[in-house]
């Protein structure tokens, strides 16, 4: 039996939404496959006719610390990958991470069935800031075509946004348009434009993206991220005579946010509020407290 007290069990009950009999968004089949991959047994052979929540409770009651900790941490990794950790869950998520890491003895005997040379890390925070700083820096040394570097940047952002609970969508096409991606911030949809070019973004690029965003709906907004920043003309004249529905960010700002271990959602939201409250579509990270 895993060494979990009542309060600790309740943390996982709340985090996984088990009061309804479910565990997260798993169907019977996907939960069966998930547990089998980690613990190598069929839950519906061992626990026939039980709900998913009751099955998880039974596993906690019957299995050892390492097995239970391993399963609980993988369920939490699943939540991160699916963008299911919201602001309200943040504190209980961290509490559960500490419990799970204790059960497995931190990194002790915990190994996932991923490639053997991949070391599993304890979940102690949402973002491995050092990892993402290094990956961002490596894009600067990308020796393939600009198009390939652009794709790599989009992939980087999608993974980073996913870990920040922004429910990102990768690049997609609609009739006559290419969209680099989208994400959700505070229940609102944002389109993404990501440019890793050697020249600053000009006014024309901003106008085109703003029109893409504005043509979708009255509540759609946009985020433009540029490696080389924006031209002086673009910043001075972009807002003239038009409604601006996009905010600007640079890769330099992203790197600074990572180095300072800022909460990315809060940083991004500060930019959005500056647009809504001040008409400032380019609020600098140095102006955000």
Q: What is the pLDDT of residue 120?
A: 41
Q: What is the pLDDT of residue 145?
A: 67
Q: Are 203 and 263 contained in the same domain?
A: yes
Q: Are 186 and 44 contained in the same domain?
A: no
Q: What is the pLDDT of residue 107?
A: 42
Is 108 part of any domain? no
Q: Do the beta carbons of residue 180 and residue 192 sit within 8 Å?
A: yes
165-170 CB contacts, 8 Å cutoff, 24+ apart: 165/80, 165/83, 165/84, 165/85, 165/86, 165/126, 165/265, 166/83, 166/265, 167/83, 168/83, 168/192
Q: Are 228 and 280 contained in the same domain?
A: yes
CATH number at 189 reads 3.40.1350.10
Residues in the chain with pLDDT values less than 50: 107-125
Give the Cα separation of 139 and 10 in Å (integer).
43
Q: Residue written as tokens 């946010």? A: 257
Number of compact structural domains in the chain: 2
Q: Are 269 and 188 contained in the same domain?
A: yes
Is 120 part of any domain? no
Domain housing 39: 6-103
Q: What is the pLDDT of residue 110?
A: 34
Q: Are 144 and 80 contained in the same domain?
A: no
Q: Choose among 277, 258, 276: nearest CA to 267.
A: 258
Between β-strands 246-250 and 221-226, what pairing exists: parallel, antiparallel or unpaired?
Answer: parallel
Tokens representing 69?
């900790």
Q: Are 99 and 140 contained in the same domain?
A: no
Give the Cα separation of 30 and 26 in Å (integer).
6
Q: Are 222 and 271 contained in the same domain?
A: yes
Alpha helices in 114-164, H assignment, sequence order? 129-140, 146-163
Q: What is the pLDDT of residue 243?
A: 94
Q: Are 188 and 87 contained in the same domain?
A: no
Q: Choose among 72, 76, 69: nearest CA to 110.
A: 69
Residue ending a domain, among 87, 103, 119, is 103
Q: What is the pLDDT of residue 121?
A: 45
Is 118 part of any domain? no
Q: Choose among 253, 246, 207: nearest CA to 227.
A: 253
- What DSSP line would sit under 89-101, residue for residue? GHHHHHHHHHHHH
Is 109 part of any domain? no
Q: What is the pLDDT of residue 174?
A: 86
Is 78 part of any domain? yes
Q: Are 138 and 189 contained in the same domain?
A: yes
Is 37 part of any domain? yes
Q: What is the pLDDT of residues 53-99, one digit of tens each?
A: 999 999 999 999 989 999 999 999 999 888 898 888 888 998 899 89
**Strand stretches in the chain, DSSP E:** 172-174, 177-179, 181-185, 188-195, 221-226, 246-250
Q: Are 170 and 271 contained in the same domain?
A: yes
Is 110 part of any domain? no
Is 113 part of any domain? no
Q: Are 135 and 234 contained in the same domain?
A: yes
Q: Are 55 and 133 contained in the same domain?
A: no
Residue 201, SS3?
A: strand
Q: Do the beta carbons of residue 40 and residue 67 sit within 8 Å?
A: no
């Amino acid at each position: 039996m895993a060494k979990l007290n009542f309060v600790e069990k309740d943390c996982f009950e709340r985090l996984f939404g088990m009061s309804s009999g479910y565990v997260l968004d798993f169907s019977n089949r996907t939960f069966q496959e998930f547990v089998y991959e980690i613990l190598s047994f069929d839950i519906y052979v061992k626990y026939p006719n039980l709900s998913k929540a009751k099955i998880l409770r039974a596993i906690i009651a019957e299995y050892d610390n390492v097995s239970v900790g391993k399963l609980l941490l993988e369920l939490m990794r699943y939540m991160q990958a699916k963008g299911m950790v919201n602001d309200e869950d943040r504190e209980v998520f961290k509490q559960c991470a500490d419990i799970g890491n204790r059960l497995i003895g931190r990194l002790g005997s915990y190994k996932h069935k991923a490639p053997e040379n991949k070391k599993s890390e304890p979940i102690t925070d949402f973002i491995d800031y050092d990892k993402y700083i290094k990956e961002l820096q490596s894009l600067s040394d990308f020796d393939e075509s600009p198009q390939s570097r652009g794709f790599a940047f989009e992939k980087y952002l999608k993974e980073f946004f996913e870990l920040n609970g922004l429910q990102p969508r990768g690049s997609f096409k609609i009739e006559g348009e290419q969209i680099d991606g989208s994400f959700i911030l505070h229940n609102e949809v944002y389109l993404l434009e990501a440019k890793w070019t050697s020249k600053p973004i000009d006014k024309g690029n901003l106008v085109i993206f703003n029109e893409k965003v504005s043509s979708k709906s009255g509540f759609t907004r946009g985020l433009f991220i540029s490696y080389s920043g924006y031209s002086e003309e673009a910043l001075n004249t972009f807002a003239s005579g038009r409604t601006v529905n996009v905010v600007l960010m640079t890769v330099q700002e992203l790197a600074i946010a990572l180095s300072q271990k800022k909460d990315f959602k809060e940083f991004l939201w500060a930019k959005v509020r500056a647009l809504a409250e001040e008409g400032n579509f380019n609020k600098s990270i140095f102006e955000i407290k």
